[in-house]
Structure 1
Amino acid sequence: MKPLTKNMWRDIGKSKGRFIAIILIIMLGVLIFVGVKAAGPSLNDSLNKTVVENKLSDIQMNSTTGFTKKDLKIASIKDAKVEAAKYKQVVGGKGLAVSLYGYDKKNDQNNLIVRSGRLPRKDNEIILDQQAQTKYNYKIGQKFTFNKSADLKKRSYKIVGFASSPQYIENESRGSSNVGDGTVRLFAYVPNNQMNLKVATQLNIRFKNLQNKNTFSDSYKDAVNSKKTILEDKFKKRAKDRSADLYNDSKSVLEQQQEKLNTAKSQLTLAQASGMDVSSQLNKLNLQEQKLNSALQNLKKQTKTSYIFQTREDLPGFSAYGESSDRIAAIANVFPVFFFLIAALITFTTVTRMIEEARSQIGTFKALGYTKWEISKNYFYYALTAGLIGTILGAVIGNVSLPRIVLALYKQYIPLTWDVKFQWITASLALLFSLLATVGAAMIVVRQELSEGPSALMRPKAPKSAKKILLERIKPFWNRLSFNRKVSYRNLFRFKSRMFMTIIGIAGGTALILTGFGIQNSIGASGTRQYGEIFDYQAVVKTNNLNKTLKVLQDNKQYQSSAAIHATTGKVYHSGKQVNDVNFYTPENKDFSKYIHLKDGTNKTLKLKNDQVILTKKMATVLDVKAGDSIKVKTTGKTHSIKVSAITENFVGHFLYLNKSTYQSMFGKQPKSNTLLLHLDKQTSDQRNSLANALLKKGKALGTSYTYDQQSTISKMTSSLNPIILIFILLSGILSFVVLYNLTNINVSERIRELSTIKVLGFYDKEVTMYIVRENIVLTILGIIVGYGVGNLLTAYILNQASTELVIFPLTIHLTGYVVATVLMIIFTVIVMLITHKKLQHIDMIGALKSSE
C-alpha cells in the first residue's frame, strides 16, 4: 500500500468519530430527502395497485329508472367493459342507512376484499362492511335485519363474512343518503335475486386502455373525463327516450280509466239535461278525474329519467386520500430539501476543517516530491467514501422504511396492497448534492492549500489576530465579567465562520422541529378556527318545508335556536378565472350574525350592503379579487355582474354572502329560505343521528349536516399526517444532535493546543470544559431564537404549498412546539457538554503542545 493511501486509512482510524459523523449527517439528510419524497408516490401507487387488482370501475352510472339492455349497448363505447348491478339505499339493523348491492358471481368489477368469513352462497346469506364488525359489533353467524321499506325477498339474512371494498377506501366515510339519518353507515351485499328490482340501477364501466395509468395522474383524470363526456352526450337523448317509453307504457291504463270517466260524465250530463238530479254522481266523477290527473302528473315524475355520472374521484374518501398524499408531496418538496441543505452545509464545513488540520501532512508530502494530484486524490477518496456510504445507507433506509411506516400508520383507510418503488431520480439528486458537499469541499480546500509552498504548509497556520469586540466597548458590562467569560466572548467573534455554522446548525434543527409541530397544528387549526371563529352553529338543515322542520326541532330537547337563510350553489368568475361549487348565502334577518361571523383580516365586523356581495378569502385569492372589484356570478343558469364590498376570513370552503335586496335586484325575485343554521346543546352521536332521522322523516328535511362531523373529517386529515410529522421531529432532533456534536468536536480539535496551554497553566477540568461549552451555550441560545423565526417562515411556506383549492391552513404553532424544540436543544447541548468534558479530561497536553515542532 502506498504511503499516501496508508496515511488516509490511518486518518480514518484516528478520527473515526469525525468520519462516522460525516456519514451520519449525509445519511440523515439523504434518508429524509429520499424517504419523504418517496412517501407521497408510494401512497398513490399503493392505492392504485389496490384498485387495479380489485378492478374498481372507472365510471359509475346511476339511473332513476334503471338500465335496460339497450342502455348497456349505448354505454359500451370503445375499450369499455360494462356491467349492470342492482343497487339501492335502504335502512338496516339498528336503523342504519345501508348501501345495498346485489352480489353476482358473473360480475368482475369492484371486487370485494374479504377480511373474514366468505362471500354469500345461499339466498339467505349476506356479507357486510367490515365497519359492521369493528364499529357496530356484528359477528359472523348473527342475523342482519332490514326494514320492511327495503323491499327485499327476505327481511333477515345470516352474516357469513366481512369485507372491504375499493369503492369505499376510507374506513369512516360511506357517503350521504336519502334514508335513515341521511348518512350511509355501511355497505352490504346480498344475492342478486334477493333485490326486488326489475332492472339494474347501476352501470359499472371500466376501460382497458386506462388500467396502466396511475389513478391519481393528470393523464388518467383527463382520459376519464373525456370518456365521461362521451357517455354524457350519448345519454342526453337516451334520457328523453327512456322517459317517454316508460310514460307511454304506463299511461295506457290511466287513459282507459280517463275514457271511462269521460263516457260516464257525458251520460250524467245528458241525464242532468233531462231534469234528473245527478249532482252527487258528477261530484264523485270530478273528484275521480282530479285524482286521475294527479296520477298522470305523478307518473310523469316517476318515469322521468335522469342519470348521475361519477368517477373514482367522486367515491367516498377517494379525493381526501389523494389530497393527503398531495400534502405529503408538497411537504416533501420543501422540508426534506431544507433538512438536506443543513446536512450538506455541516458536512462541507467538517470536510473543510479536516483538510485544514492536515496542512503539515500536505506540506510534508509536497516536500517529498508527490504531485498535487497524488496528494489531493486521497482526500477526494476520503470524502467520496464518506459521501457514498452515507448516500447509499440513507437512500436505501429512507426508501425502504419511511413509505412503509406511513402506509402502516394510515389506519383510517382500508389495508392497501403496498407498492413502494425505489426513487432513482431522487436518490441520484441526493448523491449529487452529497458529493458536492464532500468531494466538492475537498476539491476547493485542497486546491487552496496546495497553492502554498511546502515550508509554509509545514508551519502552523498563523492564528487570527485578536480585535476588540463590541461588548468590550460597553465598559460597565465588560469590566464586571470574569477572565473566562471575556475569553469566551472574544473567541465567539474571533472564529466567525464557526459561530455562524453553529448558529445555522442549531437554528436549522430548531426550525425543523418547530415546522413539524407547525404543520400539524396549522392543519388542525383550519377546522378549529372555521367552526370556532367563523361558523358559530352546530348543524345545517336543508328543507322543503320550513314550518314542518321547525316543528320537529322545537320538540327536540337539544334545540336552542335557528336562523333561516336561502342557500344555493353557483359559479364565480373574474379575469378569466372561475371557482365552482360556491355556496351563496342570503340571510332572512339580522340574527344571521350570531351564527356566521363575517370579519376581515383586522377582525373588523363586516355588514352586507345593497347591490354588493362579500367573498371568502380563498376564493378571492384564486380569482385575484379585492374589495371594490366587480365579479360575475352564475346560478340557476343565469349570469350576473356584481360589486364586491369586502373579503371575509374563511378557512374551509367557498362562500358568497348577499342580502335580500341584492338577491332581489340580481335574480328578480325574493329569496325563499330553504336552510336553517342551528344552535344546539351538546349532543351524543345517537342524539345527532336521531334528530337527523326525525327531520328526514317528519320535518320534510332534505338532509342534515353537523359541524361535529366536518371537524372530525379535518381531525382525521390532521392525524393522517401525524406519522410523517413524528418522523420529521425525530430525525430533526437526531440531526441537531449530530451537528452540535460535530461542530464541538471541530472546535476542540482546532484549539487543542490552546486548551492544553490553559490546562498546563492550572485550570481545573470543569473550567477547561466551560471554556468551550460557554461558547456553545451562547450559540445555542442564539440558534434557538433564530430557529423560531426560520421555523415560522418555513411552516408558512409549506402550508402555502400544501393548501388545497377549498382549504386555507392558518399559520399556527402552539406553545408545545416551542417548548419541545427548546428543551431538545438544551438536552443536546448538555449531552455534548458531558461528552466534551470526558474528552478534555484525557487530553495529551505534552503531545498537543509540541505538535507544531
Structure 2
Amino acid sequence: MTKNMWREIAANKGRFIAIIMIILLGTLIFVGVKAAGPSLNDSMDNTVKTEHLSDVQLFSTTGFTPKDVRTAEQVAGVQAETSKFKYVTGGKDEDVVALYGYQSGAKQNQLKLRSGHLPQSADQIVLDERAKRDYGYRLGDTYRFNKQADLKQQAYQIVGFADSPQYIDYSTRGSANVGDGTVRYFAYIKPQQLNLPTATVLTVRFKSLQSMNSFNDDYQSAVNKKVTALKAAFKPRAKERNQQLSAEVKRSFAPQQQKLTQASKQLAQLKQATGNSAALQQQTQTLSENQAKLNAALKEATAKAHTTYTWQTREDLPGFTSFGDTSDRIAAIANVFPVFFFLIAALITFTTITRMVEEARRQIGTFKALGYTKWAIAKNYLSYALMAGLIGAILGSAIGNVTLPRLVISMYHMSIPLTTSVPVMWSVIALAVVFSLLATVGAAVIVIRRELAEKPADLMLPRTPKSAKRILMERITPLWRRMSFNQKVSYRNLFRYKSRMWMTIIGIAGGTALILTGFGLNDSIGSTASQQYGQIFHYSATVSLAHDGQSQKAMRVLNQSDAYKGATKVNLTTGKVKANTKQISDVNLVTPNDNRQFKKYVTLSHALTKSGLVISKKIASQLDVKAGDNVSFTTAKGKKARLKVVAVTPNYMGVFAYMSPTAYHNAFNAKPAVNTLFVKLNKQSSQQQNKLARQLLKHGGALGTSFASDQETTIKTMSSSMNVIVLIMILLSGVLSFVVLYNLTNINISERIRELSTVKVLGFFDNEVTMYVSRENILLTIFGIILGYGAGWGLLSFILNQATTSQVVFPVIIRWPGYVVATLLMVVFTLIVMWVTHQKLKHVDMVEALKEN
C-alpha cells in the first residue's frame, strides 16, 4: 500500500505539486500578512526601548530644577531627567529646528549615531539624519543659527548625523511657534550654549512599562494612570514653584523699589521744609510715573513666573500615532484579504483531493476485493492528503512568517529607522495548518468514506455517466440551430458538469477579485488627499489666527503674495459629539463668516441652514446617527448644545461638522469669532510656501499655516509604505489564479480523457481537440472575470471599512489600469494553460485511454 502511494505521487507529480503550491500560497499570504502588522509594532517598540525613549515628557513655562526631578521620583518606579530644549530658526533657509542640549550621561532618548561623532566641544553640532537626507547638509559644514535663537554663538561645525527615538518618521518632525511653524529637523549642541537659566523639559520613564508593547491598549491605559499619578505629585509643586519665583521676582525688584521709596521720603521731607513748589510737583509726578512703570514691570514679571505644565506621552510624538495607524491598517487588511485568499485556495484544494479520490474508484474496489480493510485503504489516500497539506502549510507558514514582514520593514527603513523584530505567529500558523488539513485530509475523509460504502464490484465498474438533459439554450431553437457542433458540445458540457463549472468560475473570479483589491488598495489610499482637496476642499492652505482682530493683518500679508487667489473667514473650533451613548472627540466645527462665499471653498452635500448641523460620514457611522437625529455638541471651552443633524456629507481626512453663523448663535448664544482663514493659492514650491508661512507668523498675526500639499505628502508617504504589501498581494494572487486554472484544467482533462480520445479517433485535429476543452475554459474565464469585478469592489470596500482610522476614511477607488492588468493576467493565464493542454493532448495514447475498462 505504501509503495502504491509513492507510485501514485510519482505518476501524478503535477497534481501533488499543485496541491502543495495552492496550500503554500494560501498559508504564505495568510501568515505573512498577519505577521506584518505585529512585526512593525514589535520592531518600533524594540527600537524605542533600545534607545530608552521616555514614556512621558513634561514641559513647564518656568523650567525645571533638581527638586522637580525629586517630585517626579515620588511616583513609584519613575526614572526622571531634565534637559534644555527650545525651538529656533537657522540654516540656509531659516528652517525651524528643535534644538536640544546634549548630555553625554543621559539615560533617556539616546541618539543613534548614523555618521560622525557626538558633540565634544562648544562649537560642534549634531544634526538629524533628515537634515542630511532631505536638506543636503554634510559633515564638516558650518551651520548658522539666527540671532533670535539667543545662543552663545551662532556658528557651529557639523560633526555628526543621528536618529532620535523622539522622531521616528522622516516625513514629519512636528510643529512650532517660530519661523514658518513646521519643524524640519532636530539638532544637539552643548547645553551651556542654549542660554537658558533652567532645564525646559523633564522626561520620565517607568520601569514597570518597559515589558509592554508601546502600541498595545494595555500600555496606553497604564501610561494614563501613571500620568494621573504624576499630575497629582506636581500639583502642589506648581504652587511652591510659583511662590518661589514670585519671591525671586520681588527680590530682584526690591532695590529699585527701595530707591523709589527713599526718593519718596526725601521728597516728602522737602515738601514739609520748603512747601509744594512747581519743581517738587514735577518731581512728584516723575516719581509716580516711575512707580507705575515699576509696578507694571513687577506685575508682568510675576505673570511670567506662573507655572503651567504641558504633558505629552508617546502618542503625542511626531509620527508615532500615524505609525501605529499604519500597522493597524495592515492588520485590518490582514483580517480580510488573506482569509479570502486562503478560502479560495482551500476550496480548490478540497475539489482537487475529491477528484483524485473519485478517479481511484477502480483501485479502491480492487483493494477491497483483495481483502484490505477500510482503514488500510483509507490510510493510503489520507496519508497522501496529509503529506500534501502539511508540506504546503509548513513551507508556506515558514516562508510567510520570515519573508513578508521583513520585506515590509525593509520598505519602512527608507522613512523610519527600525530595529527589525519579527515574532513567530504560532497561533496564526496553527490556524493555517488546521485549515490546510481540513481542505486536504478533510476532503479525503469525506470522499473515501463515501466510496468505501459501495461494493467492490460496483467500484470496479466505471461510474455511470450523467444522463443527457436538454439545457436552456436548446429550448431556444433559432439560437441553437445557428450554433456549430463544437459550440453545442461546449455548452452542454458546461451545464452538465455544474460543480466543475462553478469551481472554475470561483477560482477565476476569486483571482480577479484579489488582484483588483490589491490595485484598489493602492489607488484608494493614494487618492485620499486628492479626493479631499479636489472634490470637498477647494482651498490650498489654512491660516490659524491669534484672535478675531488679526484677520486684517493676515489679509494684508496674503495680498502682497503673487500666489494669492482668495480667502474666506471662518470660525474653527474643536469639540466632542455624543449620541446613542457613544462619543467622538476632536471634531472640527466649522462656522463660515459668509455662507455664499464658503461654497467656493468647501463642497457640502447640503446647504447650511439657520439651525442644526451638517456632519461628516465618519461621525454618522461612529455614532450611528442619520439626518433628522439629534446629537449633543460640547466645544473645547465647555459650551454645550443639543443639535439636529441636517445632513451627512462625505469627508475623507479629519472629522468635520458645519454650522451657519445663525445656527451657531442660536446654539451657543454667542457670535462665532473669526479665527481661521481658508486660502486659495496658485501652485507654489515648498520654499515659497515656507516664506509665506514665515511672513504670516511674523506680520500677519498667525499662529500657524498648514498647506494642503503637506497633507498630500503625508498620504503619499502612507501609500508608499503600503506598496510592498499591495505588490505582494497582487503577485501572489496572480500566481494562485494561474495554479488554480492549471489545476482545474488538469482535473477536467483527466476526467474526460476517454471522451477526448474518442473525438481524436473520430478524426479531430490537434487544434480542434484542444479547443474542445479550452472553449469551455474561455467562456468560464470571461464569466469569472466579470464576476470578479463585482467581488473585487465588494472585498475592497469591506477592507477599507475595516482599515479606517479616527482621522482618515478611505474612498473606494479602482482605476482602469487595475481592471486592465487583472483582465490581461487572467487572459494570459488562460492562454498559457491552453498551450500546456495542447501539448499534453497531442501526446495522448488514445488506444491506452480507450481500452482502460
TM over 0.5: yes
Asked if residue 587 in structure 1 is aligned to residue 589 in structure 2, the reply is: no
Q: For 1:767, give the aligned amino acid.
A: E
The counterpart of 1:342, out of the listed 344, 355, 360, is 344
The counterpart of 1:50, out of the listed 37, 47, 51, is 47
Distance in 1, matches of 2:361 and 2:578, equals 68
Per the alignment, residue 633 of structure 1 pairs with 633
The CA deviation at 1:412 is 4.6
Alignment check: 8 A CA contact 1:484 1:771 kept: yes
Q: For 1:327, give the aligned amino acid.
A: R
Q: For 2:189, give the aligned amino acid.
A: V
Distance in 1, matches of 2:279 and 2:190, equals 60
Per the alignment, residue 223 of structure 2 pairs with 224
Per the alignment, residue 84 of structure 2 pairs with 86
Distance in 2, matches of 1:709 and 1:789, equals 35
Per the alignment, residue 583 of structure 2 pairs with 578
Greater alpha carbon shift after TM alignment, 19-28 vs 540-549: 540-549
1:233-312 superposed matches below 5 A: 233-254=232-253, 257=256, 261=260, 267=267, 274=276, 276=278, 281=283, 284-285=286-287, 287-312=289-314
Asked if residue 816 in structure 1 is aligned to residue 817 in structure 2, the reply is: yes
Per the alignment, residue 516 of structure 1 pairs with 518
RMSD of aligned Cα (Å): 1.8
Asked if residue 65 in structure 1 is aligned to residue 62 in structure 2, the reply is: yes
Alignment check: 8 A CA contact 1:549 1:699 kept: yes
The counterpart of 2:442, out of the listed 437, 440, 443, is 440
Per the alignment, residue 456 of structure 1 pairs with 458
Q: For 1:201, give the aligned amino acid.
A: T
Alignment check: 8 A CA contact 1:126 1:160 kept: yes
Per the alignment, residue 166 of structure 1 pairs with 165
Per the alignment, residue 750 of structure 1 pairs with 751
Per the alignment, residue 709 of structure 1 pairs with 710
Q: Identity over the aligned pairs, expressed in percent?
A: 57
Distance in 2, matches of 1:588 and 1:258, equals 50
Cα pair distance change 1:241/1:847, threshold 3 Å: same
Q: For 2:428, give the aligned amino acid.
A: T
1:187-226 superposed matches below 5 A: 187-226=186-225
Distance in 1, matches of 2:235 and 2:341, equals 54
Per the alignment, residue 551 of structure 2 pairs with 546
Give the unaligned 5+ runs of structure 1.
Answer: 601-605
Alignment check: 8 A CA contact 1:505 1:740 kept: yes
The CA deviation at 1:537 is 0.4
Per the alignment, residue 603 of structure 1 pairs with none
Give TM-score scaled by structure 1 length: 0.96
The CA deviation at 1:408 is 0.5
Per the alignment, residue 530 of structure 1 pairs with 532
Q: For 1:645, give the aligned amino acid.
A: V
The counterpart of 1:17, out of the listed 3, 6, 14, is 14
Distance in 1, matches of 2:81 and 2:245, equals 22
Give the unaligned 5+ runs of structure 2.
Answer: none
Cα pair distance change 1:491/1:121, threshold 3 Å: same
1:364-383 superposed matches below 5 A: 364-383=366-385
Cα pair distance change 1:657/1:279, threshold 3 Å: farther
Q: Deviations over 1:492-524 (max 9, x none)?
A: 000100000000000100010011111222222
Distance in 2, matches of 1:289 and 1:224, equals 50
1:661-680 superposed matches below 5 A: 661-680=662-681
Per the alignment, residue 661 of structure 2 pairs with 660
1:826-841 superposed matches below 5 A: 826-841=827-842
The CA deviation at 1:275 is 5.3
Alignment check: 8 A CA contact 1:350 1:746 kept: yes
Cα pair distance change 1:832/1:496, threshold 3 Å: same
SS in structure 2 at match of 1:135: helix
Alignment check: 8 A CA contact 1:170 1:412 kept: no
Q: Deviations over 1:36-63 (max 9, x none)?
A: 1111111111111111111111111111
The counterpart of 1:420, out of the listed 422, 440, 460, is 422
Q: For 2:301, give the aligned amino acid.
A: L
Per the alignment, residue 115 of structure 1 pairs with 114
Per the alignment, residue 798 of structure 2 pairs with 797
Alignment check: 8 A CA contact 2:22 2:349 kept: yes
Distance in 1, matches of 2:148 and 2:371, equals 99
The counterpart of 1:561, out of the listed 561, 566, 570, is 566
Alignment check: 8 A CA contact 2:22 2:736 kept: yes
The CA deviation at 1:279 is 6.3
Alignment check: 8 A CA contact 2:568 2:598 kept: no
Per the alignment, residue 613 of structure 2 pairs with 613
The CA deviation at 1:787 is 0.7
Per the alignment, residue 175 of structure 1 pairs with 174
Per the alignment, residue 25 of structure 2 pairs with 28
Asked if residue 100 in structure 1 is aligned to residue 102 in structure 2, the reply is: no
Cα pair distance change 1:452/1:526, threshold 3 Å: same
SS in structure 1 at match of 2:344: helix
Distance in 2, matches of 1:162 and 1:351, equals 59
Alignment check: 8 A CA contact 1:102 1:192 kept: yes
Distance in 1, matches of 2:504 and 2:307, equals 72
Cα pair distance change 1:261/1:645, threshold 3 Å: farther
Cα pair distance change 1:574/1:241, threshold 3 Å: farther
Per the alignment, residue 782 of structure 1 pairs with 783
Alignment check: 8 A CA contact 2:119 2:189 kept: yes
Distance in 1, matches of 2:813 and 2:202, equals 46
SS in structure 2 at match of 1:721: helix
The CA deviation at 1:592 is 4.2
1:762-777 superposed matches below 5 A: 762-777=763-778
Distance in 1, matches of 2:644 and 2:416, equals 47
Q: For 2:488, give the aligned amino acid.
A: K
The CA deviation at 1:307 is 1.0
Distance in 1, matches of 2:28 and 2:648, equals 43
The CA deviation at 1:292 is 3.2
Alignment check: 8 A CA contact 1:164 1:414 kept: no
Alignment check: 8 A CA contact 1:172 1:412 kept: no
Distance in 2, matches of 1:848 and 1:793, equals 45
Distance in 1, matches of 2:521 and 2:302, equals 54
SS in structure 2 at match of 1:324: helix
The CA deviation at 1:340 is 0.5
Q: For 1:128, give the aligned amino acid.
A: L
The CA deviation at 1:239 is 2.5
SS in structure 1 at match of 2:135: coil
Q: For 2:42, give the aligned amino acid.
A: D
Per the alignment, residue 501 of structure 1 pairs with 503
The CA deviation at 1:843 is 0.3
| Aligned residue-pair number | 844
The CA deviation at 1:740 is 0.1
Distance in 2, matches of 1:591 and 1:638, equals 27
Alignment check: 8 A CA contact 2:515 2:734 kept: yes
Asked if residue 683 in structure 1 is aligned to residue 680 in structure 2, the reply is: no
